[in-house]
């Protein structure tokens, strides 16, 4: 079982990050920490995608003479799109948080629940 770990380390790391992010989103009371959790959560998926495209000793996916072994370029395109989406989501969430703070003068989700 343990010998599965070294070659698959990025996958284990991404699952660990996924769970850390999910834990932060559920249990942290501060809304900004919840958003940080969301960011960790979505970044873990990006790590998963990157790890998937990696080939041992592969060259960058630019056609060159004498190179036949490339890393898979498609996950990179997915990750770039994923980053853009996460950026839009995070910036919108932060604007929401600014407005929530202006309205309620607190970012504690337990206090906000009782309003």
**Residue 106 to residue 82: CA distance in whole angstroms:** 31
**Residue 94 to residue 111: CA distance in whole angstroms:** 19
Please select the residue that binds another protein; options are 81, 83, 108, 111, rule is CB under 8 A: 81
In the complex, minimum distance from the CB of residue 30 to another protein, in angstroms, rounded to a whole number: 12
Task: Select 67 or 99, whichever has its Cβ closest to another protein.
Answer: 99
DSSP three-state, residue 69: coil
Task: Kindly report the number of other CB atoms within 10 A of residue 1's CB atom.
Answer: 4
20 binds another protein, rule: CB under 8 A: no
Please select the residue that binds another protein; options are 32, 103, 108, 111, rule is CB under 8 A: 103
């Amino acid at each position: 079982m343990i010998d599965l770990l070294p070659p698959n380390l990025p996958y284990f790391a991404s699952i660990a990050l996924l769970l850390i992010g999910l834990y932060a989103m559920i249990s942290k009371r501060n809304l900004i920490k919840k958003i940080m959790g969301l960011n960790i959560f979505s970044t873990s998926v990006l790590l998963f995608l990157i790890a998937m495209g990696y080939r041992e000793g592969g060259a960058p996916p630019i056609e060159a003479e004498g190179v036949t072994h490339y890393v898979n370029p498609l996950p990179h395109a997915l990750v770039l799109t994923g980053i853009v989406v996460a950026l839009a989501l995070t910036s919108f969430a932060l604007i929401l948080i600014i407005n929530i703070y202006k309205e309620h003068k607190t970012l504690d989700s337990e206090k906000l629940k009782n309003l």
